[in-house]
Amino acid sequence: MGPIVIVEKVSIRFGGLLALNEVSFQMEERHIQAIIGPNGAGKTTLFNCLTGFYKPTEGSIVLRRDGKSYHLTQPPMGSFRGNPAGWMGGFLRNLFTSNPIHRTALLGVSRTYQNIRLFAQMTGIENLLVAQHNSVNHKLLSGIFQTPGFLRSEKKALEKAWYWLEFMGLEDTANIEAGNLAYGLQRRLELARAMATSPRLICLDEPAAGLNRQEIEDLNRVIVNLRNEHKISVLLIEHHMGVVMNISDRVVVLDHGEVISEGTPAEVQKDPRVIKAYLGEEEEDAPPQSRREA
Amino acid sequence: MEIDFIIFNIPVIILEQGALAAGFLASLFYIRALDLRAYGEMIKDAAIVGAIAMVLFVPIVGLVLKDRSLVFQIERSLMLVGAVAVGRLHISGAVRARVGIRILWRLALVGISETFAFFFFPEPQRNLIVLVVLVVLAIVFALEALLRSGEKLDSIGSKIMGAWPAVISRAKGRQGYLMFFLVGLLVLLPFEPFINSENPFITDYHLGTLTQTLIYILLAMGLNIVVGLAGLLDLGFVAFYAVGAYGYALITLHLGEFGIGFWWALPITASLAAFAGCMLGFPVLRMHGDYLAIVTLGFGEIIRILLVNMIDFTNGPNGMSAPRPTLMGLEFTRRAKEGGVPLHEYFDIPYDATYRYVFIYLVALALALAAIFVFRRLREMPIGRAWEALREDETASKALGINHTTVKLSAFTLGAAFAGVGGVLFAANEGFISPSSFTFVESAIILSIVVLGGMGSITGVIIAAAILTLLPELFRDLQQYRMLGFGLAMVFIMIWRPGGLIKVRRRAFVRRDSARGASNPALGEAD
Ligand SMILES: Nc1ncnc2c1ncn2[C@@H]1O[C@H](COP(=O)(O)OP(=O)(O)O)[C@@H](O)[C@H]1O
Ligand SMILES: [Mg+2]
């Protein structure tokens, strides 16, 4: 099926800190791929590069979709060279479309956050409706006068929202403000919201954090279902090695901003460097804060 | 009978006769369609409402000052009470009847009122009454649209004719009734001086003040988009109000000869203000919170200072006069400008300055209602949801594919358009504008209305607008303490109800059972 994401030699530097150092890996379409590694290894930073939140200092990230390649690390349009009208057009286009976060989202990449970022004062179902902004009829006048086309589009959006709410077992809390939900429910709602955008690739940042054993089992079932039934590629970050090992097709291990191992879960678990990285962390009893200075 | 009236009367007479016949038919259906118990309830309802009306109307309308002594005139108040009770009977009956009958009944209502006018009023005034009835009916239709949001009607016929009783009878129930009667009251309110002409309860002054309240409601709805929904703290909202008012004065001054009057100026000026809003939006796209507040504050001041200094264009601090609105070309002045026709001459009634106040009041009411309606729709539309998402977490909404640039700009643009309409109304109501009407204090008042009322809320904002504009009128002697009062009110509201008077209740969505059946791996149902 071919890769959906190709990360090549991505480095990012925050001041003196090299948070990612020439990270390269590929991800197959419709795979569940886990990125694991100790605290502070750079997993979230990698996600942020992938979803346009950060711009890597070096390297490239390519998203492949329907046989076409999209460079996530380069601005979408060419240059401002040429005639002034072209410059103006370029400027306007730049103003309206060049936001990398927005652009990545439009390419079908959707994500959740390590610290939940729901629209707290909006209800669960409203959160999911917002996620469908680009697929509903958002013309001003059709909405104000509620044309049949608009009502149809809203109905479709609602059906989809209910679908994902039910999928995550949230239908009973649909009309509760997201900020008032219990932690576990917020986590699930965030995943439902990410799915409501109809993504090709979903990036989950520590989805199992703070969940109990039963909830983690439910989560694993959901993730497998996303891949098998909904044909979605799932990239997920995990801090704990054991938790999602049995559902991942491939695992990338990050430590100190570098890929130290990559392979199937079985291969990775046996890799001495991985064992060392994890044992090292346990000995220190705290995530390594000091980083290799560059 | 003069020529004018013949033209006016022939369609009316046809309508009357047709409506009367339809009304007669409808009454037959009406009676047949209901069972006895329903009748009992209807009559009980009508009796209760009639009793309440009696308590209200008898002291107000029944007591008349005549030759320096109070005279008790029971007939007039009883007539009103009767009208209210019959109206209630009609509503509760219509709630229970089918759509087709409702439409007939609606026609009958027109016929009955026309006939009423025919018998009880002398020739010239009759035309005015017919006109008023038609206007009231038009407003009723508009109101239906307001109430009907989100409802699917069963046929095109009912869509055209509307069916407010059915709407009221829906889940909203009481709220719908309350709203209908409130709006009905507001529509009928300015006609009180005509019914009660010897000792009117409502004077021109009252109407002017109420008009100003309505303008503030309109403005607050606009700012509610920007601050309440999109969460963009805008301290320079008055700039767009000024653009509206000056836009109206300038457009009618320079383009008046091309027939551009109040009604044309309204959309043109709203677009001008919207454009100004969009222009302000660009530089502040990346700003939040305090920075945004300061830049918008500066923008408001820039506009005001421009108005003061562009003397050739705006007449500087001396201000400009703004024309009064007209009704289909009829003017409300005693003597018309060259070429114009005054309303009272056209209808052959004595001149009365009150007509003008009534008219502007009704226009303001219609526009304020329209603003509320549009705001309500916006709030439930994709763009409204996107505004709120942007307020809650801008980055997260970008990551869902929402284009924050267009979403933010649309908030500024639409909010400013509301303010532009408000400005036109203000100028037309006052007849004169100057930069001193558009100071920061004005922005502060509009913002207080939104904050006190509850950001994003409609009812709260209406209540706050009423309180903040009517209370200072009641306590005119304490005018110098006005701002102090505002400040105190703000502090107390922040302590007592940090979310504003009325916190927005989120729209509740109901799941239709037929669409159930998504696999639910999280709950283990899929296995
Ligand atoms: N915006 C930033 N500015 C400075 N340092 C950052 C920034 N984002 C991440 N870092 C640093 O990069 C390192 C990797 O962090 P992160 O990717 O969050 O780790 P984790 O693997 O636990 O998700 C950390 O040391 C963190 O302090
Ligand atoms: Mg992290």
DSSP, res A293:
B
DSSP letter for each residue of B142-189: HHHHHHTTTPPPS-HHHHHH--HHHHHTSTTTHHHHHHHHHHHHHHHG
Per the structure, the count of domains in chain B is 1
Q: Which residue has the higher pLDDT, B91 or B241?
A: B241
Flag whether pLDDT at B350 surpasses 70: no
| Cβ of A10 below 6 Å from ligand 1 | no
In a domain, B505, yes or no: yes
For the stretch A250-282, pLDDT in tens is 999 999 999 999 999 989 888 888 888 876 655
Retrieve residue B147's tokens: 């109430």
Chain B nearest-CA residue for A215: B522
pLDDT of residue A225: 92
> What would the mean pLDDT of B54-83 be, rounded to a whole number?
65
Q: Is A102's CB within 8 Å of B389's CB?
A: no
Q: How confident is the model at residue B237 (pLDDT cuts 50, 70, 90)?
A: very high
CATH number at residue B279: 1.10.3470
Q: Which residue has the higher pLDDT, B72 or B390?
A: B390
- In this structure, of A217-221, A231-235, A238-242, B371-375, the range with the lowest mean pLDDT score is A238-242
Q: Is B511's CB within 8 Å of A225's CB?
A: no
Considering only CB atoms, which chain A residues are within 8 Å of B392?
A: 118-122
In a domain, B349, yes or no: yes
pLDDT of residue B47: 81
In a domain, B397, yes or no: yes
For the stretch A171-220, pLDDT in tens is 899 999 999 999 999 999 999 999 999 999 999 999 988 888 888 889 99
Q: Are A248 and A34 in contact (CB under 8 A)?
A: yes
In a domain, B289, yes or no: yes
Q: Which residue has the higher pLDDT, A289 or B495?
A: B495
Q: How confident is the model at residue B205 (pLDDT cuts 50, 70, 90)?
A: confident
A105 contact B CB<8A: yes
| Cβ of A14 below 6 Å from ligand 1 | yes
Retrieve residue A254's tokens: 């990050």
| Closest-approaching ligand to the CA atom of A45 | 1
Residues shown for chain B = 527
For the stretch A125-184, pLDDT in tens is 999 999 999 899 888 888 888 888 999 999 999 999 999 999 999 989 999 999 999 999
Flag whether pLDDT at A60 surpasses 60: yes
Q: How confident is the model at residue B59 (pLDDT cuts 50, 70, 90)?
A: low
For the stretch B303-321, pLDDT in tens is 999 999 988 888 888 888 8
Distance from CA of A238 to the nearest CA of B (A): 19
Q: How confident is the model at residue B339 (pLDDT cuts 50, 70, 90)?
A: low
Chain B interface residues facing chain A, Cβ-Cβ under 8 Å? 149-150, 152, 374, 377-378, 381-383, 385-386, 388-389, 392-393, 395-406, 410, 506-509, 511, 515-516, 518-524, 526
Per the rule left: phi > 0, alpha: psi between -120 and 50, beta: everything else, B513 is: alpha
In a domain, B43, yes or no: no
Question: Which amino acid residue places its CA nearest to atom 2 of ligand 1?
Answer: A14
- Measured CA angle at A195 (ends A236, B508), to 5 deg: 135
Flag whether pLDDT at B148 surpasses 50: no
pLDDT of residue B106: 58
Query: What SS3 class is residue B321?
Result: strand
In a domain, B412, yes or no: yes
DSSP, res B513:
G
For the stretch A83-118, pLDDT in tens is 445 555 555 555 566 678 888 898 899 999 999 999
Cα distance from N-terminal residue to C-terminal residue, chain A: 39
Q: Is B381's CB within 8 Å of A177's CB?
A: no
Flag whether pLDDT at B215 surpasses 50: yes
Q: What residue type is B20 in one-letter code?
A: L
Flag whether pLDDT at A15 surpasses 50: yes
Flag whether pLDDT at B185 surpasses 80: no
> What would the mean pLDDT of B469-481 be, rounded to a whole number?
76
DSSP letter for each residue of B43-83: HHHHHHHHHHHHHHHIIIIIEEEETTEEEE-HHHHHHHHHH
- Measured CA angle at B68 (ends B66, B70), to 5 deg: 55
In a domain, B150, yes or no: no
Retrieve residue B294's tokens: 């300061």
Retrieve residue B20's tokens: 């009367």
Report the b/e string of B58-86 with b at 16+ CB within 10 A: beebbbbeeeeeeeebeeebbebbeebbe
* Strongest mean pLDDT among A11-20, B47-56, B323-332, B347-356: A11-20
Residue among B415, B481, B366 nearest B244 (CA): B415
CA dihedral B160, B164, B165, B168 (to 10 degrees): 140
- Percent of chain B past pLDDT 90, that is, above it, reads 28
Considering only CB atoms, which chain B residues are within 8 Å of A113?
A: 396
Question: CB-based burial of residue B165 (10 Å sphere; 0-12 exposed, 13-18 middle, 19+ buried)?
Answer: buried
In a domain, B202, yes or no: yes
Question: Which amino acid residue places its CA nearest to atom 4 of ligand 1?
Answer: A14
Place of tokens 């003397």: B311
For the stretch B396-437, pLDDT in tens is 999 999 988 899 999 999 999 999 999 999 999 888 999 999
Tell whether pTM > 0.80. Answer: no
Q: Is B403's CB within 8 Å of A99's CB?
A: yes
Ligand 2 centroid–CA A204 distance in Å is: 10
DSSP, res A175:
T
Considering only CB atoms, which chain B residues are within 8 Å of A164?
A: 518
Retrieve residue B29's tokens: 């259906």
- For ligand 2, a single-atom ion, the residues with CB < 5 A are A 44, 114
Domain that holds residue B332: 198-527
Q: How confident is the model at residue A78 (pLDDT cuts 50, 70, 90)?
A: very low
CA dihedral A171, A175, A181, A186 (to 10 degrees): 60
* Strongest mean pLDDT among A17-21, B67-71, B287-291, B510-514: A17-21
What are the helix (H) ranges across A133-182?
140-144, 148-167
- Percent of chain A past pLDDT 90, that is, above it, reads 57
Distance from CA of B147 to the nearest CA of A (A): 13
| Cβ of A42 below 6 Å from ligand 1 | yes
Prediction ipTM score: 0.88
Q: How many CB pairs under 8 A join A and B?
A: 147
Q: Taking all residues of chain B, what is their mean pLDDT, rounded to a whole number?
A: 75
Q: Are B471 and B343 in contact (CB under 8 A)?
A: no
| Closest-approaching ligand to the CA atom of A209 | 2
Residue among A216, A265, A213 nearest A31 (CA): A265
Residue among B138, B202, B162, B150 nearest B366 (CA): B138
Q: How confident is the model at residue B386 (pLDDT cuts 50, 70, 90)?
A: very high
Q: Are B280 and B420 in contact (CB under 8 A)?
A: no
> What would the mean pLDDT of B234-263 be, rounded to a whole number?
89
